[in-house]
């Protein structure tokens, strides 16, 4: 499978997906750590891809997303943004609303 097809499949098959450096329990950069903290405080489960252990994704996702930096949060197949946008949305209460709508509580 082509790497762009792989990215498309990941984005479309996960309601909430974070491309980040490291893992939620061991982020490998401050921006990823901040983004994970914001998402976790909203209380929703989410999928993640460690771009450090997936160099093909790291190299091609910026082209796919037309967004140059990491982390990247995708919700329902749409790019929400990176650390600054997620942090701002979280501060305004918008992130929790978005994530709750994407993955309703069970």
Annotated binding site for glutathione: 21, 58, 70, 83-84
Residues annotated within a binding site = 21, 29, 58, 70, 83-84
* Secondary structure E strands in the chain: 16-20, 22-23, 26-27, 47-50, 72-75, 78-81
For residue 71, cis peptide bond before it (omega within 30 degrees of 0) = yes
Numbered residues of the known binding site for [2Fe-2S] cluster: 29
Among candidate residues 31, 13, 11, 10, the one with its CA nearest the CA of residue 22? 31
H/E element holding 97?
Answer: helix 94-102
SS3 content of the chain, % helix, strand, coil (to 5): 50, 20, 30
């Amino acid at each position: 499978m082509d790497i762009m097809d792989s990215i498309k499949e990941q984005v479309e098959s996960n309601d909430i997906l974070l491309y980040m450096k490291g893992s939620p329990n061991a982020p490998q950069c401050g921006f990823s750590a901040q983004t994970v903290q914001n998402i976790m405080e909203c209380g929703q489960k989410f999928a993640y891809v460690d771009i450090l252990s997936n160099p093909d994704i790291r190299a091609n996702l910026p082209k796919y997303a037309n967004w140059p930096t990491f982390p990247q949060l995708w919700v329902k197949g749409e790019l929400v943004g990176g650390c600054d946008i997620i942090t701002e949305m979280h501060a305004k209460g918008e992130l929790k609303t978005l994530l709750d709508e994407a993955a309703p509580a069970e």
